Amino acid sequence: MATANVVTPQSEDFPKWYQDVVAKAEMADNGPVRGTMVIRPHGYAIWERMVAEVDRRIKRAGAQNAYFPLFIPQSYLAKEAEHVEGFSPELAVVTVAGGEELAEPVVVRPTSETVIGEYMAKWIQSHRDLPLLLNQWANVVRWEMRPRLFLRSSEFLWQEGHTAHASAEDASAYARKIHTEVYNDFILNVLAIPTFLGIKPPSERFAGATNTMTCEGMMKDGKALQMATSHELGQNFARAFDIVFQSDAGESAHCYTTSWGSSTRMVGGLIMAHGDDRGLIIPPRLAPTQVVVMAVRDGDEAVDAACASLVTALDNADVRVTLDRGRGSFGRRVTDIELKGFPLRIEVGPRDLAEGVVNVVRRDTGEKTLVALADVAVTTTTLLEAIQADLLATALHRRDSLTVDVATVEEAIAAAQTGFARLAWDLVTPEIEKQLKGEALTVRCLQRADGSMPDHEKEAGLTCIIAKSY
Amino acid sequence: MATANVVTPQSEDFPKWYQDVVAKAEMADNGPVRGTMVIRPHGYAIWERMVAEVDRRIKRAGAQNAYFPLFIPQSYLAKEAEHVEGFSPELAVVTVAGGEELAEPVVVRPTSETVIGEYMAKWIQSHRDLPLLLNQWANVVRWEMRPRLFLRSSEFLWQEGHTAHASAEDASAYARKIHTEVYNDFILNVLAIPTFLGIKPPSERFAGATNTMTCEGMMKDGKALQMATSHELGQNFARAFDIVFQSDAGESAHCYTTSWGSSTRMVGGLIMAHGDDRGLIIPPRLAPTQVVVMAVRDGDEAVDAACASLVTALDNADVRVTLDRGRGSFGRRVTDIELKGFPLRIEVGPRDLAEGVVNVVRRDTGEKTLVALADVAVTTTTLLEAIQADLLATALHRRDSLTVDVATVEEAIAAAQTGFARLAWDLVTPEIEKQLKGEALTVRCLQRADGSMPDHEKEAGLTCIIAKSY
């Protein structure tokens, strides 16, 4: 196994394995300014596919994209006291522009919540303007002291949705719709990562929110990663930004608002949920390239012709396919293709070709199948579906086997060393939460006994998931 | 004409007309920080379509997308003396981050040229790594004292391509490929704006470039708008950033680099190239919504059902269609639809419907046609193609009739008051260029006598286009 040397084994040092995969699969590099990142073409192609899939679902849910400025007056952030408290240690501030000291410094957006609030107030007059459903794809900045590529960076890419509604019920229903039909649907059905859907305990809520919903994914090391969150803000933001509408009866009232976001962090989640000691594994529905076709040996005309016609046949069958133009030995090229995580590779060699077959290799299992040339398109499509299903099944099995029902806080602490602990929520007092934090553990989310999302943390019979997290 | 009151007529005050269209068609608003802009959903949907069309062409030309950080160390900009000179008055500088004064202030990118140069130096070792073809979609900041929405803003959205090549010929050929097959193809065939393709005179070149190519479009007021530019940078940037490769023979040499960009400025160009006194006109190939279906009267069940089935029929015919959910009188709704520039609207009324027809109205000409329900999909497709062709023909006719061949500088100054003047380039000395600037005129580009792009400004027999510009 030449590849055994390429990345540190997961079992040896999981964080080092992660770093190695990010570097060797050419996903990202550290930027020149501490905490920033350079997303390289392979990493960015994966992000572009995430954007396309999430954006399609957001539009299907009725929201419209818009773009708000990078620069926000410092005074805006002070309007919502809790909000500014949540963000102030992380702000980057422009004090000089156009060759002069600015009279009022401007903040580089840590989120566009405040500026969007300001414009919602301007655009909303009557109940007929509601709901107002906006989304933005943008870069945001939160100064990061302990950066990690994709997981925590001073600048990251994300989408943030912001909506205003006439009633609490409508706001709540929309936030839930986004959370399940956009985020969880994408994470489960495209990323092949099963999540625990639940609400955050009050201590972990977004600043200013009345309710925060989360999708918690389990990484291969048993830690949790918050994949996306959706917030109900009640009338808190509407009051701070004066987002008011006239009802049908002519009465004035504050709107109910929501916000929701997902980011390049999901790329980190993808790596840690599926990757193995040979590198990245990308689920077929996400993969920018689903199949790599490679000639086993350079310079054989018949092989080159067969490769070209396979690419055409797969492209015609709507498979995202590329021809490997890698250099070096066959082994070196296979190592590179495996590092980058393409779901299938097709090896075309002169001897197989003479018998009318090619070698189709699954990235997830390593399984090799000799397939007749005429059957490649059909077999490929079937295999891609199988890989998607198997990745999800494997992740689901891992999550469920590493999630332990416990009866006491002590048992929870023990179980959460290697996975998730599920405990009765009414056992977790604020003091217990502090104790857990001392053990580097947090309550990731609250769920009903049947695993569904509660309306609020005061429902009877709730359980909570306790884990280490990224 | 109810709409006559909605926007200032072009003939009365063209800049005011532009402002009115941007505001009333809900394209954009001024941001809270001077010079920044809020791109509203209608404006952003148009930009998204531009991004999709340009991105497709960039990928077809073989470049890959990546993402480089927003923050650039100040020292990077100093590496290329000419470069820093070109940008320094426009820089926004972060001096405080994470609650502390930064040891080295960081610049908010005015372009990513320098940081991409740094990483190219890292990623390129041998001739086998060339060409390296990168592109980035991002926001950039250039502090603007006289902002105008879409045309000049302190922050704008753009793509910037950066490539490195082994030879001057290869770099030059690629820059020309991008300029013609990406930019001009998109501007001509999607935006329906005919351009003059040419090279900039040395005085107007991008800082550090050995050659700058431009697509100059003519706006309805006869002024020029630079729609996109492509630069050959020779070995200048490669020397400044040490971008070196080993040749096949093992010798070390500096790469030849190119850069090329297009931005949200194109939205401004779109507005001014086609808009009229009723608002925006969007060419069908660009339009996010090509057809708006509207009920002439609310609450008529047969009409509503006909609207819904028309939307389905057009959607099935791959037409981008939406159902108008506007409020208010029929006249008010028509005014809004016209302001936003959708190429076609279909009015569905009870009386027409009783006769099995609907009213199809062209935005560009106002022409109305009664069309049998069964023929709507076919007629719509034909009309959309006709509108696309007619918008281009009209713009081409305007450009050609407002471009005057002149023999002297005095004649050029006179002609450029209302359009473009074409003059022999060898008549334009540096002193004449100064004189032109005094008249608020510039040499927009140099062309060969047959209208093609010269290789350099020293070719014999070149002509130049002189005009006012945005």
Q: What is the reported pLDDT for A3?
A: 44
**Distance (Å) from the C-alpha of residue A240 to the closest C-alpha of chain B?**
17
C-alpha to C-alpha distance for B419 and B285, rounded to whole angstroms: 27
* Residue range B440-456: mean pLDDT, rounded: 97
Strand locations in B16-131 (E): 28-30, 37-39, 64-65, 71-73, 92-97, 100-108
Asked whether the predicted pLDDT for residue B188 surpasses 50, the reply is yes
The more confident residue out of A224 and B297 is A224
Mutate to test the interface with A, among B33, B93, B107, B119 (most CBs of A within 10 A): B33
How far away is chain B from the Cα of A77, in angstroms, using its nearest Cα?
13
Residue B365, token pair as written in the block: 């000409």
Judge whether A66 and A136 are in contact, CB under 8 Å: yes
pLDDT digits (tens, 9 = 90+) for B378-415: 999 999 999 999 999 999 999 999 999 999 999 999 99
Residue A1 pLDDT? 41
- For residue A77, the model assigns a pLDDT of 84
Q: By the 8 A CB rule, do B457 and B211 touch?
A: no
A-chain residues within 8 Å CB-CB of B97?
91-93, 143, 154
In chain B, DSSP finds a helix count (H) and a strand count (E) of 15, 23
Distance, in angstroms, between A116 CA and closest chain B CA? 9
DSSP structural state of residue A362: E
Task: Please report, rounded to a whole number, the percentage of residues in chain B having pLDDT higher than 90.
Answer: 92
The rounded mean pLDDT for chain B is 95
Q: Is the peptide bond before B131 cis (omega within 30 degrees of 0)?
A: yes
Average pLDDT over residues B341-362: 97
Segment A102-125 mean pLDDT: 96
Task: Tell me whether residues A97 and B93 touch, CB distance under 8 A.
Answer: yes
pLDDT at A84 over 80: no
Distance of residue A132 Cα from the nearest chain B Cα, in angstroms? 11
CATH 3.30.110 for domain B402-467, yes or no, is yes
So what's the pLDDT on residue A88? 76
Task: For the beta carbon of residue B85, count every other beta carbon within 10 angstroms.
Answer: 12
- The C-alpha atoms of residue B45 and residue B330 are separated, in whole angstroms, by 25
Asked if B415 and B404 count as a contact pair (C-beta separation under 8 A), the reply is yes
pLDDT in tens, B218-227: 999 999 999 9
Question: CA torsion, points B101, B102, B107, B113, in degrees to nearest 10?
Answer: -170
Percent pLDDT > 70 in chain A is: 97
Q: Over pLDDT 90: what percentage of chain A?
A: 92
C-beta atoms of A90 and B98 within 8 A:
yes
Answer whether B89 sits within 8 Å of A96, measured CB to CB. no
d(CA A131, CA A163): 7
> Mean pLDDT, to the nearest integer, of B416-444?
97
**Phi and psi, residue A232, nearest 5°:** -100, 130
Chain A residue whose CA is closest to B153: A69
Confidence band for B83, pLDDT divided at 50, 70 and 90? low
What pLDDT does B1 receive?
41
Q: pLDDT tens-digit profile of A267-320?
A: 999 999 999 999 999 999 999 999 999 999 888 999 999 999 999 999 999 999
Pairing verdict, β B256-263 and B224-232? antiparallel
Which class is domain B291-384? Answer: alpha beta
The model's confidence at residue B93, banded by pLDDT at 50, 70 and 90, is: very high
- Amino acid A2: pLDDT: 45
Q: What is the pLDDT of residues B23-59, one digit of tens each?
A: 999 999 999 999 999 999 999 999 999 999 999 999 9
Per-residue pLDDT tens for A205-231?
Answer: 998 899 999 999 999 999 999 999 999
Pair of tokens at residue A129: 């303007």
Mention the CATH class of domain A2-274: alpha beta
| Interchain pair A70, B44: CB under 8 A | no
Q: How far is the alpha carbon of A320 from chain B, nearest alpha carbon, in Å? A: 14
Rounded CA separation B63/B136 (Å) = 10
Tell me the domain boundaries of chain B: 2-274, 291-384, 402-467
The dihedral through the CA atoms of B16, B21, B24, B26 has a sign that is negative
Closest of A135, A145, A213 to residue A180, by C-alpha? A213
Q: In the predicted model, is pLDDT for residue A190 greater than 70?
A: yes
Q: Please judge whether B134 and A71 are an interchain contact, meaning their C-beta atoms are less than 8 angstroms apart.
A: no
Of A45, A70, A92, the CB nearest to B139: A70
Mean pLDDT of B362-372: 98
Mean pLDDT of all residues in B362-373: 98
The per-residue pLDDT for A86 is: 65
Binary contact (B41, A31; C-beta < 8 A): no
Q: How confident is the model at residue B81 (pLDDT cuts 50, 70, 90)?
A: low
Q: Look at residue B3 in the predicted model and tell me its pLDDT.
A: 44
Per-residue pLDDT for A137 more than 50?
Answer: yes
Nearest to A71 among B33, B66, B128 (CB): B33
Structure confidence at residue A39 as a pLDDT band (50, 70, 90): very high
Distance CA A57, CA A189 (A): 12
- Percent share of chain B, pLDDT over 70: 97
Tokens of B277: 């006194």
CB contact (8 A) between residue A76 and residue B115: no
Express each pLDDT in A333-379 by its tens digit: 999 999 999 999 999 999 999 999 999 999 999 999 999 999 999 99
- Binary contact (B157, A67; C-beta < 8 A): yes
Pairwise CA distance, residues B42 & A202, whole Å: 38
**B267-276 average pLDDT score:** 98
What is the model's pLDDT at position B299? Answer: 86
**What is A291-387's CATH number, 3.40.50.720, 3.20.20.100, 3.40.50.800, 2.30.110.10?**
3.40.50.800
d(CA A195, CA A204): 18
Provide CB contacts within 8 A for B125, sequence distance 6+.
B245, B246
> Cβ separation of A105 and B96 shorter than 8 Å?
yes
Mean pLDDT of A95-111: 94
Contacts of A102 (CB under 8 A, 6+ apart): A94, A95, A96
In the predicted structure, residue B326 carries a pLDDT above the cut 80: no
